[in-house]
Amino acid sequence: MTEGVNVSGDQAGFHALAVLVAGGGELALSDEGQLLGVLVEATEGPVVAGLHDRRLTVRGGDEGRSILADELRAVGDMDDGGHAHIEYFEGHFYLGAGSLPLILISPHGGMPRR
């Protein structure tokens, strides 16, 4: 399994990231965390997430980025612990080959309290 990028934050952070992913653009982050920023580019084709100079890059068509944005919002809206793995596999409906796995961690962290 290829190592991925852990994405965590509060509900507002996940929602802001979803808006960025859906619309494209750039976000600088403080150097206190693992990532220095996020760069989202609207291109043709499937979504490919990667890392470059400690910046998360997301490139892909509108439809695929919209689906990823929905997944970010859904994790941000979790009301208990949990996480989601966003990983490419052959035939994936919106991720492209070479996309780095994303591990989206609920604002409540850990596993669900059910």
pLDDT in tens, 15-48: 999 999 999 999 988 766 678 899 999 999 999 9
26, amino acid identity: E
Using CA atoms, how far residue 51 sits from 22, 63, 101, in Å, is 18, 22, 11
Torsion of CA 30, 39, 20, 28, to 10 degrees: 20
Q: What is the pTM of this model?
A: 0.90
What are the tens digits of pLDDT across the range 67-110?
A: 999 999 999 999 888 889 999 999 999 999 999 999 999 888 76
Pair 57, 36: CB distance under 8 Å: no
